[in-house]
Amino acid sequence: MKRSEMLLFLIIVIVIYTAVNYYLFRTAKLFLPKHVNIFAIIFWFLVIAFPLGQLLERIFPSVLSDALVWVGNFYLGAMVYGLILALIFSLYQLLAVIFPSFKINFTDIQRYTIFWSNFLLIVFIEIIGFYNSEHPHLKEFRIKMDISRPLNLVFVSDIHLGSSSSRMRTQRIVELIQSEKPDIIVLGGDIFDGDIQPVKRQHKAEPIFQLKAPLGVYAVTGNHEYIGGGLAAKNYLKTNGIRLLEDESVLVDSLFYLIGREDRDKERFGMGQRKTIEELTHSLNQSFPKILIDHQPYELDKKAKAGIDLTLSGHTHNGQLWPFNYITGWIYEVGYGFLRKGNTLIYVSCGAGTWGPPIRTNSRPEVVHFEIIPSDTDHE
């Protein structure tokens, strides 16, 4: 990404972020006839916590920067649901203008009651969402493939190791993976949230580097590996025993081809072009089944045309926060779950971690176990 493009993007984000929070502040003030100054100090501290924490993380990483990132990320979740509640109130105000009989003259006690009820509702959502995000669950599927013997493949995407990820959650993910006694483990990108320095400093990736499987532990890049610099993230994985597939395929135990695709944002971050699906598959022995790992679920028709048997993706988080799942469902042909195109089976995982707010409110984080059995077996 060019410096001018990055600057323009940052300006747009800052303008939108500031406008949304100003709207929230003005709306909240209507329900706080007293103590507005105290509220303003707390509110604007929460607003600047995330960008300030991100800045400090880059120039002076410390416990302070970690704390600010945590606080700021939780506020981002609160901002989403605060915005929904504020929009509902604005809708009421509009109706009160159109239909004066709708108008209510709130007393101070009623205003305080509305404010604190909404505040407690948001806190409740954040607590439940955080608990949910910290407890990934196992999803198991049995699928048939033209493979010579059964295979246990465990797939996990979007772990997002960073300042606001907990080591306990990562340890739970690893325990779930190993509990299935996988033949092979595949990490589907966005292993890191961005800059890997906080991960190194806090040793947050150590559980991931302890993963073991007889046929190996493989990974591909996601867009967040490139957000964090690309090469540093790649080298960190390679030097710690993870087999990174960078637009390449490997014939695994004479059973199937595992094809690992570079993330589509590689070019956007000035790291060169990735190979096309045709380039990745045209020279392969077509008698072996092909499993493709591509972080972002695009080009599904091309994958089907190339004869991919199973393609695994992540990236969408299934929106992570309600109601964003409706947006991802609109953007992607499949935002979460299975889709079949011809002989190609596509699975998009909602991921095992979180980006931004460390909460999930519309799906549970997942580790996915595929029991792949030969096509000619009678066992369903």
pLDDT tens-digit readout, 241-273: 999 999 999 999 999 999 999 999 988 887 888
Domain that holds residue 50: 3-132
Number of domains in the chain: 2
Element (H, E) at 258: strand 256-260
What is the number of other CB atoms lying within 10 angstroms of the CB of residue 111? 15
Distance (Å, whole) CA 250 – CA 341? 24
Distance (Å, whole) CA 142 – CA 131? 29
Average pLDDT of every residue of the chain: 92
The answer on 167 and 120 residing in a single domain is no
CATH code of 359's domain: 3.60.21.10
Distance (Å, whole) CA 346 – CA 160? 22
Residue 324 covered by a domain:
yes
Q: Is 15 exposed, middle or buried (0-12, 13-18, 19+ CB in 10 A)?
A: exposed
Q: Is 32 exposed, middle or buried (0-12, 13-18, 19+ CB in 10 A)?
A: middle
Of 132, 166, 182, the residue at which a domain comes to its end is 132
Half-sphere exposure of 358 (CA within 13 A, CB side): 23
pLDDT in tens, the chain (380 residues): 556 667 887 889 899 999 999 999 999 999 987 778 899 999 999 999 999 998 888 888 888 988 999 999 999 999 999 999 999 999 999 999 888 888 888 888 999 999 999 999 999 999 999 999 999 999 999 999 999 999 999 999 999 999 888 899 999 999 999 999 999 999 999 999 988 888 988 899 999 999 999 999 999 999 999 987 778 899 999 999 999 999 999 999 999 999 999 999 988 887 888 999 999 999 999 899 999 999 999 999 999 999 999 999 999 999 999 999 999 999 999 999 999 999 999 999 999 999 999 999 999 999 999 999 998 876 54
What does DSSP say about strands 184-187 and 151-156: parallel, antiparallel, or unpaired? Answer: parallel
The answer on 74 and 212 residing in a single domain is no
3-state secondary structure of 150: coil
3-state secondary structure of 160: coil
Distance (Å, whole) CA 155 – CA 52? 35
Report helix angle 3-29 to 36-59, nearest 10: 160
Q: Which long-range contacts (CB under 8 A, 24 or more apart) does 284-287 make?
A: 284/249, 284/257, 285/251, 285/257
Q: What is the pLDDT of residues 275-318, one digit of tens each?
A: 999 999 999 998 999 999 999 999 999 999 999 999 999 999 99
Residue 95 covered by a domain:
yes
Residue 379 covered by a domain:
no
Element (H, E) at 155: strand 151-156
Residue 110, amino acid: Q
The answer on 145 and 12 residing in a single domain is no
The answer on 141 and 111 residing in a single domain is no
Of 106, 132, 158, the residue at which a domain comes to its end is 132
The pTM of the full predicted model, rounded to 2 decimals, is: 0.91
Of 89, 114, 132, the residue at which a domain comes to its end is 132
The answer on 240 and 156 residing in a single domain is yes
The answer on 145 and 219 residing in a single domain is yes
The answer on 202 and 74 residing in a single domain is no
- Candidates 183, 160, 172; CA nearest to 207 is 172
The answer on 88 and 167 residing in a single domain is no
Residue 192, amino acid: F
Residue 10 covered by a domain:
yes
